[in-house]
Structure 1
Amino acid sequence: MIAMHLVLIAGILIFCFPIYLTFVGSTLTHFEIIRPPMPLLPGPHFVDNYTQALGSGINAPVGRMLFNSFVMAMGIAVGKIAISILSAYAIVYFRFPFRMLAFWAIFMTLMLPVEVRIVPTYEVAASLGLLNSYTGLILPLIASATATFLFRQFFMTVPDELVEAARVDGAGPLRFFKDILLPLSVTNIAALFVILFIYGWNQFLWPLLITTRPEMNTIVMGLKQMMPTADDYGNWPVTMAAATLAILPPVAVVVFMQRLFVKGLVETEK
């Protein structure tokens, strides 16, 4: 048992050390970072570097890029969950022609990630005037075969007696969905929300294509732009401060939703 805990602690230290170094670098001066050895303790320039990071950037302020990333991640997570849970509900509880064909067509899109269909997706978005808009950042990414599959599998575990009891009680499809299925799906929704929020936050290729105005850049794009190139030394303290700020929203989502996230992944008895 002690050995297992030691291995776990060692893994945590190895994983967290680069993040700690990034935070330390964000509190130092540029010359303290580039002159080896780099200090391992935070410096006195925390307020200056973070103030400069929030108000500056290569093409847009970091604060604006963080806001864009948050809107995109929230829109993708909420949109994917809403569409997926309704799709799974229709597939499980309604009888219509080609029902299973529709499900397998959705499931097969797992083999077609956005990178494969990036050109036609961009063409459609551009034709609809979605460039440089939050709708363009979110809408093409809100369909999720994985979430649809997970909700379908959960709905299939709901006892038929519960469906019959709701029908006898006079509950229609919408009431059954709102009053019974949604409360039962809270932990599943929470687990998927965490995963999908981080997925949306880390998007790089699609925002790079769909945005041409600097004020619509996301934080992932901004970090790439702030990295020094060629003979440019860059501004490492500000870049590391921006990187530290970019970590905070996903970490906050995981921390605040940790209990529901774990229950959604491991709970079998609803």
Structure 2
Amino acid sequence: MSKPTITRDSERADRTTVRDRLSIPSWASVHVPLVVLVALSLSPVVLAVLMSTQSTVEIYQVFNLAPGTEGASNYLTVLTEYDFLTYIPNTVVMATIIVVGEVTFSLLAALALVYYDFPYKNVVFVVILLTLMLPFPVRIVPLYSLVTDLGWGNSMLGLSGPYVASATSVFLLRQHFRAIPDSILETAKLDGVGPLTFLVHVLIPMSKGILSGVVVINFISAWNKYLWPLIIVSDRQKQVVQVGISYIQGTADAGLTQWGIIMAGSVLALLPPLVILVVFHRPIVRTLGIQAN
């Protein structure tokens, strides 16, 4: 009686089955690394929130990762004793002024650079872009001298005035306007539409996505200002939230830094830009040129 033979096709099928069983699913190879990266990115925020609920003694217990017993007390202390009820509104006002100013000037500048012909237009645009090569610390001394000479020191105008123009916003809006078909401009000219009317009723409605992204990016950038407010404002009641956190760091309890209160202040400072970022994340993605589903 002859023994059964195994064909090459059956051997190949067996090997394929074993390989399929041992191989990692395609979804896992993509999602598992993403989940790990997201967890690593969120871990500092989670630790900050946990520490904001702990007392000084609990925080110095290195392996204590449980919610603490001083959550309400820490946040109440930050809001009342450390004047965050003043710093947060100050920061909101400053960020709002900066955003409104940047968007307004950037829209007008982009309109002129795209739809007007004037001598050395490209040179003007290059000069605007060159300002991005000058970091803020390089400009801080002449800027401080200018603001104080204008009498804007220790004021909201001095806080927000230097930031109401943005080369980045001008660049983004200029590139967006250049992508709008010329036929729309020609139609507007035939209808006798003026430049400001064309901007308000045509360009802005067609640019809602990128304008939303520019607003969010500029708001978050303005909210995180630290060095300039620290220099130009001398009155604590006129300070912003980022400088307010540094005020907390200068205090100590029995020789120990009050990290619980510092983290509570940091969480409060994080919440407004985080909420805006979550709500308007899609315009930001579109502004940065990334395709999102």
Relative to 1, partners in 2 of residues 1:81 and 1:161: Cα closer, same or farther, differing over 3 Å? same
Deviates more, 1:72-81 or 1:7-16: 72-81
User: Hey, what's the Cα distance between the residues in 1 that align with 2:68 and 2:49?
Assistant: 10
CA RMSD, 1 decimal:
1.8
Aligned in 2, Cα 1:19/1:181: closer, same or farther, shift over 3 Å? same
How many residue pairs are counted as aligned between the two chains?
264
Is the alpha carbon distance of 1:266 and 1:111 closer, same or farther for their aligned partners in structure 2, counting shifts above 3 Å?
closer
Q: Does 1:235 align with 2:271?
A: no
Q: 1:42 aligns with which of 54, 67, 78?
A: 67
Matched residue type, 1:213: D
Larger Rg: 2
CA deviation map 1:175-198 (0-9, x unaligned)? 111111001111111111121111
Asked if residue 62 in structure 1 is aligned to residue 84 in structure 2, the reply is yes
**Is 1:20 aligned to residue 46 of structure 2?**
yes
Query: Contact 2:58 / 2:68 at 8 angstroms: preserved in 1?
Result: no
The 8 Å contact of residues 55 and 62 in structure 1, kept in 2 or not, is answered as yes
Determine whether 1:256 maps to 2:282.
no
Between the aligned partners of 1:64 and 1:228, the Cα distance in structure 2 is 19
What's 2:268 paired with? 245
Counterpart CA distance in 1 for 2:285 and 2:122 is 30
Corresponding residue for 2:78?
53
Deviation by residue 1:179-222 (Cα, 9 ceiling, x = unmatched): 11001111111111121111111111111111011112211112
Contact 2:229 2:239 (C-alpha < 8 Å) held by counterparts: yes
Question: Which of 117, 131, 142 is 1:109 aligned to?
Answer: 131
Any gaps of 5 or more consecutive residues in structure 1? none
Say if 1:25 and 1:42, in contact at 8 Å, map to a contact too: yes
Match for residue 180 of structure 1? 202
List per-residue Cα deviations over 1:138-157 (Å, max 9, x = no partner): 11112111111111111111
**Corresponding residue of 1:266:** 289
Deviation at 1:235, TM superposition (A): 2.2
Partner residue, 1:170: 192
Listed as ranges, the gaps of 5+ residues in structure 2 are: 1-26
Share of identical aligned residues, percent?
Answer: 37
Could you say which residue in structure 2 is the equivalent of 1:33? 59
Deviation at 1:252, TM superposition (A): 0.9
In the aligned structure 1, how far is the partner of 2:54 from the partner of 2:136? Answer: 39
Gap change, CA 1:204 and 1:107, over 3 Å in 2: same
Structure 1 residue corresponding to 2:106, chosen from 74, 84, 88:
84
TM-score (ref. length: structure 2)? 0.85
**Where in structure 2 are the equivalents of 1:189-228 lying within 5 Å?**
189-228=211-250
TM-score normalised per structure 1: 0.92
- The answer for the alignment partner of 2:9 in structure 1 is none
Is 1:71 the counterpart of 2:97 in the alignment? no
Give matches, 1:153-164, under 5 Å.
153-164=175-186
